[in-house]
Amino acid sequence: MALKKADKDAIIHAVGRISKCGSRRSKRIMSDFAGHKINKEEFNEMILIECHVKDIVTDCLNSAGLGRDVEEMNQILGKAIIAGDAEKVHMMASCGLLALNEFGYSQFQRAGHVHPLHLAAHHNQPEIIRIVFSKQPDRDIDESVNNQMTPLMMASIYGSVNAGRTLIELGANVNAVDISKKTPLIFSAWYGQLEFARLLLQSGANRGLKDRGGSTAEEYAVRYNNLDIVQLIREWA
């Protein structure tokens, strides 16, 4: 659907304000929009990722009647992480938008929300993990969601070996425990992630650790009939 002239004028006004704040590519963005090379949704997103100050973005978008809230910003960032769009994640991280770090995540009901590292771990995006960590070097690589799931645990559930290897290289604790004392190795054994279990064992995971119910990773593998992992753990003894 074509934009009304009032909408178009408001958007161009917003870009003009961003231009005054030093966005180097705002003129090109405005030109692309005026030439119908990009649509309204793309235009809105480009405004967001090109500006270096979140408050200015919010002010500009509100003045244009196109206000974004934290949830909308996170949707853009979340989609970029899932897609492995390193350039977009890097740009948004440079704008400080990683501070908006909780995503509503219906695929993972246990926690309800996840952080950028968790999302990248789930979708096996090691480059994104490195970007997040480089932009926030003081960030805890073992940060948990609701005191439960670390990024390495998330990777262990989904068998995201490349992401897991990167997390470990960055210092993730292979023997971290969640609220029920489950370790990444227990999750791998539970969900049948053989190669991830191998990675954890090679990285020093303790196969003898027990969860709150007294079960080891090997016992989880037996319980869920993941016999290849049972064999792997026994051979590692």
165-176, pLDDT tens digit by residue? 999 999 999 999
Question: Which of 21-25, 108-112, 119-123, 134-138 is predicted least confidently?
Answer: 108-112
Quickly state the pLDDT bin for 149 (edges 50, 70, 90).
confident
Backbone φ, ψ for residue 192 (5° rounding) = 75, 30
Q: What is the pLDDT, as a whole number, of residue 107?
A: 39
What is the Cα gyration radius of the chain? 22
* Secondary structure in 3-state letters for 159-213: CCHHHHHHHHHCCCCCCCCCCCCCCHHHHHHHHCCHHHHHHHHHCCCCCCCCCCC
21-47 average pLDDT score: 54
Instruction: Retrieve residue 149's tokens.
Output: 């799931």
Q: What is the pLDDT, as a whole number, of residue 153?
A: 96
Question: Which of 11-20, 54-63, 102-111, 189-198 is predicted least confidently?
Answer: 102-111
Structural class in CATH, domain 100-235: mainly alpha
Quickly state the pLDDT bin for 36 (edges 50, 70, 90).
low
Mean pLDDT value across the chain: 76
Does pLDDT of 43 surpass 80?
Answer: no
Q: What is the pLDDT, as a whole number, of residue 151?
A: 94
CA distance 34 to 39: 10
Classify 181 in phi/psi space as left (phi over 0), alpha (psi -120 to 50) or beta. left
